[in-house]
Chains A and B, each alone.
Chain A
Amino acid sequence: MHVGVAPELRDPAWCGRVAVAVVFLVLLLPAGYLTEFNPATLWGETSLRALRQFLGSFFPPATSPEFLRLVMEAAWKTVAIATVGTAIAIAIALPAALAATRVLSISRIATGRMAMFPAVIRTGIRWLLIFLRSIPEIVWAMIFVRAVGLGDTAGVMAIGITYGGMLGKVYIEILESAENQSATVLLQNGAGRLQAFWYAALPVSLPELTSYTIYRWECAIRASVVMGFVGAGGLGQQMELSMKMLAGAEVLTMLLVFVALVWVADLVSALLRRALA
């Protein structure tokens, strides 16, 4: 590819791309070795029998009216946990992103670089966001279950904190990767930081911000189920009880409700994105 081509026609990016691919492969192989990942074990006779037995106990799904009512209530609670948790996450992420993003920096206008003090603030906020999201939500949930007891509050707090860290990081990246000339022009003409956000950065990035937030809300629905296993409320807590009682039929019903929830979340996301496009 490289040899026999006139020097001025050689793609200057080629060597870099090859190097990145090699590094990636070199890193991936030991990781696969370390986890002893071997697809063949899945199809071994013992694995298949165990799987068949476990899945066989699932059918048919439980449909007794009082159980369904219980499941619907728990599902509704799961959505509520995810929604309130995501709202708290936005309340953490948005101010953090506004304070940390380069796009709304006034000091960068003339020099191209942020002044010392804002740069320190920005780094501090990034560290805070890393701290918030580096501890998995299930660990936060276990902490909050100790603090506020079993129930939905622990789930809400855990999602709010972890997702606040995730949303904040991605909000900053969305704002900075988008076209930012319109915000720069407003700042150059004397507008304030918040004004430049509302009148330029927000309308430019709104669909991406919304789309990512909805996706996180969908993730929060799933996460709140997992957190239910440590007692943080919702569908997960119900599922854990059914699993402990080896009631496979009930587990299947709840899994189906689960698929439906994620499907609805996907629908809502598509609708909102179309409305904002």
Chain B
Amino acid sequence: MQSNPGTAAGEASLSGVRVAYATGAAALVDVSLKLAPGEQVAVIGPSGAGKTTLLATLACAMRPVAGSVRVLGSDPWAQSAAALHALRRRLFLAPQQPPLPPRQRVVHAVLAGCLPQWSTWRALRSLIYPLDAEIARDALARFGLEDKLFLRCDKLSGGERQRVALARLIASNAELLLLDEPVSSLDPALAHSALEVLQVEASKRGATLVVSLHAVDLALARFGRIIGVRAGGVVFDLPRERVSDELLSDLYGTELNASLQALPGELAAVLRLSRCT
């Protein structure tokens, strides 16, 4: 795909953004943030804080009811539907649940990452015979899954499915990468190595990478900039050195303490200990 001259690759910003669900309830309230081209950011926060909505808003998949959005150098909601869709070709939003049809084979699930660059006919030809299997194989190899190339997606384990969905990102050439809990089904060691692959790829193509994570330790270990989200708002947006234990326990605080009180004392103590270590 051509790179558009004059538009900053990977740049995105939100200012005073408010996003509402279809029911009218607010999902994001007055959110402002700026992502520089090539930046790598982790978003953390309790369940239901708005991490997913934040990523979807950056991906032009949810339209704010107030505030302004700039993605890849333009205002997505001020342009024609065709221009908006062209903008979407340059970004990659990965939902938490790997979006793989159970009966699809891995090779096509990965090559689906190339669809924005492909013509309609090229896409059909690839389904008839996967001439670009090499692209898929190489993308899978980064996650140690090259032997799964011609398996069906429903033959994979949960962790394998999640990595196949990430291999689709490698096959794409998007400049703004927005990943919702991309390593939630992986064990700690695999989670680290998968994030490593994604971060290396992002810096190789100069793409901006935003990752939401529920594992705080992983976020602090791998990302220089941490955004804490709670109740639809940004609580902090800091370099990791300045993310203190107090900030973290405030971020997760009340919900966690409230739910811990409902548990038997011993179990609650174990959970309290394992938090923020």
Contact = CB atoms under 8 A, between A and B. Distances in A.
B61 interface: yes
Interface string B91-108: 111110101111110001
B103 A200 contact: no
Interface string A173-199: 000000101101111111110111011
Given A181-B95, A188-B88, A189-B88, A198 B124 contact: yes
Interface residues of A, number: 30
B61 A188 contact: yes
A199 B112 contact: yes
A197 B116 CA distance: 14
Contacts of A182: 99-101
B275 to A, nearest CB: 31
A8 to B, nearest CB: 18
B155 interface: no
Contacts of B93: 185, 188-189
Contact of B85 (A190, A200, A276): A190
A196 B174 CA distance: 17
Interface size class of B (residues with CB under 8 A): 35 or more
A242 interface: no
Nearest to B91: A189
Interface stretch (A23-31, A36-44, A107-115, A216-224): A107-115
B99 A200 contact: yes
Contact of A185 (B81, B95, B102, B103): B95
Most chain B CB atoms below 10 A, which of A106, A111, A186, A203: A203
B103 A199 contact: no
Contacts of A203: 101, 103-104, 108
Given A110-B62, A111-B63, A199-B123, A191 B81 contact: no
Given A195-B118, A199-B123, A200-B101, A190 B86 contact: yes
A206 interface: yes
A204 interface: yes
Nearest to B104: A203
B23 to A, nearest CB: 11
Given A115-B81, A188-B61, A189-B93, A195 B115 contact: yes
Contacts of A106: 81, 85
Given A110-B63, A189-B172, A198-B124, A276 B103 contact: yes
B226 interface: no
22 contacts: A110-B60, A110-B61, A182-B99, A182-B101, A187-B88, A188-B93, A189-B88, A190-B88, A190-B90, A190-B115, A191-B112, A191-B115, A191-B116, A192-B115, A195-B123, A199-B104, A199-B108, A200-B101, A200-B112, A203-B104, A204-B101, A206-B103
Interface of B: 22, 59-63, 81, 85-95, 97, 99-104, 108, 112, 115-116, 118, 120, 123-124, 127, 172, 174
